[in-house]
Every structure is written in structure tokens, then in C-alpha cells.
Structure 1
Amino acid sequence: MTAAKSPDALSPAEALKREAAARALDYVRSGMKLGLGTGSTAKHFVDLLAQRVAQGLEVVGVPTSEATRAQAESLGVPLATLDEHPVLDLVIDGADEIGPDFSLIKGGGGALLREKIVATAAQQMIVIADASKKVARLGTFPLPIEVVDFGVAAIRRSIDKAARAAGCQGLLTLRRRPDGHVFVTDQGHLILDAAYLSISDPATLAARLSEVPGVVEHGLFINLASRVILAGADGVTVLDRA
């Protein structure tokens, strides 16, 4: 079992993420089937969940990425697949941006396809984040769009056309790893990051992008999150969607 990093050694930003993750544990009950998110904030949740499992909490986790699977396995969290448990009680995951109506941008970690499949299979989605992720309008964070590796130039053109029809325009950048190689998702796809800056109608953009041949999935999560847990300088706030 890999030891978790001491809370005292965390940066202020990471400490806030861990506070949000800790509050999310209040909603976990023994016997639950849990979707385990991907990303820096979800990583804290898996760390803390593993501590509860070691103390006797009985849960089964369904990871949204190979990175989360490896982390959970190393910490002793029991895992299963979505084929074994196609209906989950709860998924807890982070977000890159959270809009006023709980619309989300996700996919900064590259796991948006599996994250959306798992979120859709869950009876409830709780989003954990530091308070800076709550925004008045989505779009400052580039929107990840997962695409197949065939005809990427043609797919780009179709994405641009679809985005303009939804009132958005911006540069599409093929995601690369720090070493310069093209980023490939766990499902073997590519990601185009769209710098739209401002998305006035996330639902319309989501619908338009979903119609583009070659687009596997996009990072707009609409009507999926029901609760948001935000950690900030003034403490932890829990928000529920009306």
C-alpha cells in the first residue's frame, strides 16, 4: 500500500482540494457502489476513501481512468467494472469549471469519456473542487473534445462550424504530453482543446458537438451534477442544484 502525502506537506491549493474531498466522504455509506473520478482533487478523495476502507468501510469503486484504477488498487480500495455494476449509487469527481447551473467543463486530465459514462450510470454525482473552479460563465478553461485519430483536419473544420452555430469561436489545439508526444486517452483517442473563452449556452454547444462525426465525447457535463462541494478561504460550502 502506497502512503498518502501528509496533509501538512500540501500546498494551500492542494489543501483546499483535500478539504472538499474530505467533506464528500460524509455522503459515502457502507455498501455503496462508487464511481471514482480522475484528476488532482479526485486523487485526494481516493486517498481519504482508502483510509476509511482500512478502518472497515465496505464499498466497491468503479474507476474512471487507468490512473485512478492504479491508485485505488495500490491503496487497497476494492474495485469492479461498470459491466459488473452498471448502476452506481454515487460518483465523486472534480471539475475544471463549474457554472451557475452546475454545468461543468471536465476533461483536463484526459478522462472525459469514461468520466461521463460513469457519471451517467450513477444515481447522484457530487463534484468536489476548490472555490476558484466556480465561475459565472464557462469557457475560460479550454474545452476538451475527444476525437478519433482519422481525418482530424476534417473533424476540426466540422467542430469549428458546430461551435460557430452555438455562438462560440476559438482556437483548437491538439493536446500533447509534456514530452511533446501526442496525448492519447485510455480509449486510444485524441483530444482537441477548444479555447472558446466564453460559452453562453453550454447545452446548445454540447448538442452541436455531439452531432459532429468523429467526435467521441466532449467535456461539457450538462444536468449531471446534483451537489457541489467547494473549499475556500472561508471554509467548505455545499451547494445543491435546485
Structure 2
Amino acid sequence: MKKWGSIHTIEKLCAAMARTFILVGDENKYTARLTNTYPVVLEVLPQARTYVPIAIKGLFADTVINYRHTNGGRYTRTQNNNLLLYVWFAQMPEPALLDIQLNRITRVVETSLFYNLANKAIRAGAGGITVLQKEGHIVEQTCYGRMP
């Protein structure tokens, strides 16, 4: 999941078109399971500003939902002039099901979930660099100094 994302639609389009998509991040951004520490961000058509939150509440009653605003109180807009809707889940649903359910809501353009898109991930940390394949298996590890 892209945390606090706002340009995920274009990034996901590029990922879908690529033969190989590699995620890169530091060890602090890695979790074994998707958590509710950050919201899932949806890009929503402005015309569906009131409809989409109601649809989400119908699927996931225990959520906190709000639109991102600028300091001036106006809606934050994406590159495509759409709105950003932030959804916090009390208990995070299974990512595969969540991705399907959110993308089925009419007028949701895209979500910040990058579920099942990457071929591999490169994670850097104090212990070195770790390359993870799609199923989460470590395939390569480069160590700088002693491993923890």
C-alpha cells in the first residue's frame, strides 16, 4: 500500500504496463501484514463525493472516512482533478478482498493498494539489502557489516 498516497493512479498504470515492477523501500516501511496504521486512499470522481462514502459504510460499517483538504479548506485534487478520500478501518480486511470490493464501487477511480502488482521488492536497512520475490521469499541478501 502506498502510504498517504495521492498519485497512485498514474503509478499503478505504469506498474500494470511494465514487464517487471519492483517496489523499493526502507525496512521501516515493511510489514508482513497490511495494518490500519495508515488509511487506504481512494481517488474518487468529484460527482461521487457523497455516494462513495455511503457505499463504503455499506460494506464496512466500522470505518472513519474523510476527504483530504488544503489549508484553505478546499478539496485536494489529483493530477486528474479527482478527490482523495481517506478510509481508516477499525480492523483491516483481507487485502485481496478489500482491493476487489473498493474497486467495484462506482466512481472509485483507483485505490492506494498496490495489491499483487510487484514482481519483487527491494528493502534496505541497517543489516543490508534484502530482495523479496512475489511470494515473500528472500531470494538475495547483501550484508554490510554484521547481520543482526
Q: Give the AA of the match of 1:125.
A: F
Residue in structure 1 matching 2:70, options 172, 177, 181: 177
Query: Offset of 1:195 from its aligned partner?
Result: 1.0
Q: How many residues align?
A: 134
1:220 is aligned to 2:113: yes
The aligned residue for residue 60 of structure 2 is 163
Q: Give the AA of the match of 1:209.
A: L
Q: Which has the higher helix share?
A: 1
Query: What is the SS of the residue equivalent to 1:118?
Result: helix
The aligned residue for residue 7 of structure 2 is 111
**Contact (CA 8 Å) 2:3, 2:39: kept in 1 or not?**
no
**Contact (CA 8 Å) 1:162, 1:205: kept in 2 or not?**
no
**Kindly tell me: are residues 119 and 197 of structure 1, through their superposed partners in 2, closer, same or farther at Cα, counting changes over 3 Å?**
farther
Q: Which has the higher strand share?
A: 2
User: What RMSD over aligned residues (CA atoms) do the two structures have, in Å?
Assistant: 1.8
The aligned residue for residue 125 of structure 1 is 21
**Contact (CA 8 Å) 2:52, 2:108: kept in 1 or not?**
yes
Percent identity between the two aligned chains: 31
Query: What is the SS of the residue equivalent to 2:84?
Result: strand
Mark the runs of 5 or more structure 1 residues left unpaired by the alignment: 1-104
Query: What is the SS of the residue equivalent to 1:221?
Result: coil
**Kindly tell me: are residues 197 and 134 of structure 1, through their superposed partners in 2, closer, same or farther at Cα, counting changes over 3 Å?**
farther
Query: Offset of 1:177 from its aligned partner?
Result: 3.0
Runs of 4+ in 1 over 6 A off after TM superposition: none
Q: What is the TM-score with the length of structure 1 in the denominator? A: 0.51
**Kindly tell me: are residues 210 and 109 of structure 1, through their superposed partners in 2, closer, same or farther at Cα, counting changes over 3 Å?**
closer
**Kindly tell me: are residues 211 and 179 of structure 1, through their superposed partners in 2, closer, same or farther at Cα, counting changes over 3 Å?**
same
Query: What is the SS of the residue equivalent to 2:22?
Result: strand
Q: What is the TM-score with the length of structure 2 in the denominator? A: 0.81
Map 1:35-54; keep pairs closer than 5 Å.
none
1:143 is aligned to 2:36: no
**Contact (CA 8 Å) 1:163, 1:209: kept in 2 or not?**
no
